[in-house]
Chain A
Amino acid sequence: MKKFLFAVVAFSIAFSISSCKKDTAETGPGAIDIEFDNIAVVDGIQRQLSLVTPGSASYTYQNGMGQDFNINLLRYYISNIKLEGPNGELFEDHVHVDVSGTEGIYLVDESDLSTGVINLEDVPAGQYNKITFTVGVDEDGVQEGAAGGVLDPATCHMFWNWNSGYIAMKFEGQSPVSNGGTSGGETVDGTSPNGIVYHVGGWRDMPGTAFVKNNKTLTFGFDTNARVEKGLQPRVHMVFDVLSLFKGQNMIDFTGNHNVHKPVDGQPVAENIPAAFAFDHVHQ
């Protein structure tokens, strides 16, 4: 019996070693998920974000100035995803925009959590420990003209018709200190007494003018490698702390600049975006 067990164990080890070798030798590209998890960091603790019904007077969050607020809507574009590894691994997600659809640009919408998970296929096997992505849609995506999928201007609710281009990040909610009178909101209108509307966009930087590009390209390292190979599907968990939109580099005051639609007006919020994102962990 013992001999038999030994034989089985030995055989298994031998088999697993040989199959490992075989795998490494033959391993093809795999998949990896990038998850964007929208959270609120309160007292240093990550909390699940909760959306309210538009007009709600129930306030869960505070900005950096101690002003209460809540959130009806949070939506942003992620594009140009790039993964890199310690051994020269490189994966650049293909961006293709045309009338029939859009690839490589993703719209993360807090009201539909499935949109927060971006599945990347055909990623070369290897170790990855660095991600770069853009929040917003850059010039190439705009200048392709009318596009389908997540860029369809009729359905994305992220298109500016008067200054053509896509809003990078859209936030709407209420704050008791806001005196309302907002415009152009999706969940808040001019009659909402306490609306706060931040439509942050702008894809053009023109030297010598006030044209502002508010899209942000961000890079994060991972504390552990994500191993990609055929049959594996690791998940990189990124977090976005909504509260950080309104503090950090710039304090955002809901009594003043609370109805934002122009690139320049959105610049203070846009400058807070980089610090609001963070790498959290890798699920192998």
Chain B
Amino acid sequence: MFNREGPFAAPPQFKVMRTVFLAAAIGLLLAACQRAEIEAGKEVYSLNKPDYFPDIAYPMATNPITKAGFELGKKLFNDPRLSLDNSIACSNCHVKAVAFTDPQHNPSVGIFEQSGSRNAPMIANMAFQSEFLWNGGVSHLDFVPVFAIENEKEMGETLADVIRKLNRTDDYPPLFKKAFPKIDTITSPYMLKALSQYMLLLVSDNSKYDQSVRGELQLTAEEAAGLDIFNRKCANCHSGALFTNHDFLNNGLDSVFEDEGRALISETDDDLGKFKVPGLRNVTLTAPYMHDGRFKTLQQVLNHYRSGVKDAPTLAPELKKNGQLGIPLTDDEVEKLILFLETLTDYDFVSNPVF
């Protein structure tokens, strides 16, 4: 199905429609340079969902992905002009090399050296999710960048000013025209659609674990043992192909909540201290961990689950079975779990030059 040989193996999520140069394209495929074929092929990119992934949640028909739109989104994502003082791009806190998270800062730093209150979450497999941010306040991918751009501590800019700035540049108007031929002036919905096109194609589906699911290789005995422990002790919440049940849960970090989490959105005490269950793909790359980035290593995370869980009325029931706080894990189990979690790292994803 996918050509994975060679240093420029294509991202599997690109299925480039090609009508011309078919023979040449086959030649290119054989030459293992599918990236070049993306350049030569028709200007349409499509999202290719692995069959074991959840359904695509994004309304794709509202935003057909094109090469020009995707590349415009990528440029915007990396452009600090989207912030108030032209200093912070999306990619400042969502760094590709670490699966679009922030390895440097805890929590991430926005304009004027301000620290936010939350840990920059991974941007990957966004097409399969319908609630965003740690508290789920944003219900559509298009609107995620609005939050970051307008947040005083992140990019601190108004959407209206960003649009004014983009219209005044030399480079953006022709790129928008190329991506969206009908428009003469840049408006915010087009900018947001372009950013979504970029984020939608950021699909991470080629970890060692994925390859084992597809029968392309086998996990080692220890990794498989880790998977077995994971399925018994973690997969209630970190379930499915994205390793999240998409729920909002209190995982026992605190008894008193400085950050109310989901309750800020749902406005009910039943959600105090609950945060989105994060997916675990690329988890070895995405430190620090938790909504506030309080843990630096997976060892610390697992130690929290076996001995650090704090009780609260909203604590996830999985973390208090039979009146016992936490998840019982032996040292050996922790070691194997970490070996398994390492199989979730998708090196193709973080090194893909197209992204």
Q: Please, what's the 1-or-0 string for A245-265, where 1 marks a CB less than 8 Å from any CB in chain B?
A: 000000000000000001110
Given contacts A154-B187, A164-B143, is CB(A211)–CB(B192) below 8 Å?
no
B139 interface contact, C-beta 8 A: yes
Cα–Cα, bound, A165→B63 (Å): 19
- The 8 A-B pairs with the shortest beta carbon distances in the complex, nearest first, are A154-B188, A146-B192, A145-B142, A154-B159, A146-B189, A146-B142, A210-B268, A164-B143
B163 / chain A contacts, CB cutoff of 8 Å: 154
B160 interface contact, C-beta 8 A: yes
A147 / chain B contacts, CB cutoff of 8 Å: 189
Q: Which residue of chain A has its CB nearest to the CB of B141?
A: A145
Chain A contacts with B in 134-187, Cβ cutoff 8 A: 142-148, 151-155, 159, 161-165
User: Which of A144, A164, A212 is packed against the most chain B CB atoms within 10 Å?
Assistant: A164
B140 interface contact, C-beta 8 A: yes
| B193 x A146 contact (CB < 8 A) | yes
For the A-B complex with A204-B139, A211-B266 known, give 4 more contacts whose Cβ atoms are closer than 8 Å: A143-B139, A145-B62, A146-B196, A162-B147
Identify whether the interface residues of B are mostly helix, strand, loop, or mixed.
helix
Cα–Cα, bound, A165→B143 (Å): 9
Chain B contacts with A in 139-179, Cβ cutoff 8 A: 139-143, 146-147, 150-151, 158-160, 162-163
| B188 x A146 contact (CB < 8 A) | yes
B150 / chain A contacts, CB cutoff of 8 Å: 161
| A99 x B267 contact (CB < 8 A) | no
| A99 x B189 contact (CB < 8 A) | yes
A109 interface contact, C-beta 8 A: no
| A163 x B143 contact (CB < 8 A) | no
The number of residue pairs between A and B whose CB atoms lie closer than 8 Å in the complex comes to: 98
B215 / chain A contacts, CB cutoff of 8 Å: none
Q: Closest Cβ of chain B: how far from A203's Cβ, in Å?
A: 9
Q: Closest Cβ of chain A: how far from B76's Cβ, in Å?
A: 13
Cα–Cα, bound, A209→B79 (Å): 39
| B59 x A144 contact (CB < 8 A) | yes
> Out of A143, A154, A161, which one reaches B162, CB within 8 Å?
A154
Footprint of A on B, CB under 8 Å? 59, 62-63, 137-143, 146-147, 150-151, 158-160, 162-163, 180, 182-183, 187-190, 192-193, 196, 265-268, 270-271
A-B contact pairs, 9 of them (CB 8 A): A100-B182, A142-B140, A143-B59, A146-B188, A148-B189, A154-B187, A164-B140, A165-B139, A262-B267
Q: Please, what's the 1-or-0 string for A179-218, where 1 marks a CB less than 8 Å from any CB in chain B?
A: 0000000000000000000000000101001111000000
| B146 x A99 contact (CB < 8 A) | no
User: Which of A99, A146, A148 is packed against the most chain B CB atoms within 10 Å?
Assistant: A146
Q: Which residue of chain B has its CB nearest to the CB of A162?
A: B137
Q: Which residue of chain B has its CB nearest to the CB of A165?
A: B139
Q: Closest Cβ of chain A: how far from B144's Cβ, in Å?
A: 8
Cα–Cα, bound, A252→B193 (Å): 40
| B189 x A152 contact (CB < 8 A) | yes
Given contacts A147-B189, A206-B266, A211-B266, is CB(A159)–CB(B196) below 8 Å?
no
| A155 x B266 contact (CB < 8 A) | no
Q: Closest Cβ of chain B: how far from A154's Cβ, in Å?
A: 4
Cα–Cα, bound, A142→B142 (Å): 10
Q: Which residue of chain B has its CB nearest to the CB of A139?
A: B139
A204 / chain B contacts, CB cutoff of 8 Å: 139
| B146 x A153 contact (CB < 8 A) | yes
| A143 x B146 contact (CB < 8 A) | no
> Out of A148, A163, A206, A212, which one reaches B187, CB within 8 Å?
A148
B139 / chain A contacts, CB cutoff of 8 Å: 142-143, 164-165, 204
Identify whether the interface residues of A are mostly helix, strand, loop, or mixed.
loop
| B187 x A152 contact (CB < 8 A) | yes
Q: Please, what's the 1-or-0 string for A240-284, where 1 marks a CB less than 8 Å from any CB in chain B?
A: 000000000000000000000011100000000000000000000
A98 / chain B contacts, CB cutoff of 8 Å: 62
Chain A contacts with B in 99-149, Cβ cutoff 8 A: 99-100, 142-148
Given contacts A145-B62, A146-B193, is CB(A154)–CB(B143) below 8 Å?
no
Given contacts A100-B182, A145-B196, A206-B266, is CB(A159)–CB(B189) below 8 Å?
no
| A144 x B137 contact (CB < 8 A) | no
Cα–Cα, bound, A110→B271 (Å): 38
Q: Closest Cβ of chain B: how far from A268's Cβ, in Å?
A: 14
| A155 x B160 contact (CB < 8 A) | yes
A162 / chain B contacts, CB cutoff of 8 Å: 137-138, 147, 151
Given contacts A154-B158, A154-B160, A159-B146, is CB(A99)–CB(B137) below 8 Å?
no
| A209 x B266 contact (CB < 8 A) | yes
Cα–Cα, bound, A163→B63 (Å): 22
Cα–Cα, bound, A164→B131 (Å): 10
Cα–Cα, bound, A210→B272 (Å): 13
Q: Which residue of chain B has its CB nearest to the CB of A143?
A: B140
Cα–Cα, bound, A159→B142 (Å): 13
Cα–Cα, bound, A138→B137 (Å): 16
Q: Closest Cβ of chain A: how far from B63's Cβ, in Å?
A: 7
B189 / chain A contacts, CB cutoff of 8 Å: 99-100, 145-148, 151-153
Given contacts A98-B62, A154-B160, A161-B150, is CB(A146)–CB(B143) below 8 Å?
yes
Q: Closest Cβ of chain B: how far from A97's Cβ, in Å?
A: 9
| A145 x B59 contact (CB < 8 A) | yes
Q: Closest Cβ of chain B: how far from A69's Cβ, in Å?
A: 26
| A211 x B147 contact (CB < 8 A) | no
Q: Closest Cβ of chain A: how far from B294's Cβ, in Å?
A: 23
> Out of A100, A152, A164, which one reaches B188, CB within 8 Å?
A152
| B187 x A164 contact (CB < 8 A) | no
A144 / chain B contacts, CB cutoff of 8 Å: 59, 62
Cα–Cα, bound, A162→B189 (Å): 17
Cα–Cα, bound, A159→B162 (Å): 16
Q: Which residue of chain B has its CB nearest to the CB of A99?
A: B189
> Out of A161, A206, A209, A262, which one reaches B146, CB within 8 Å?
A161
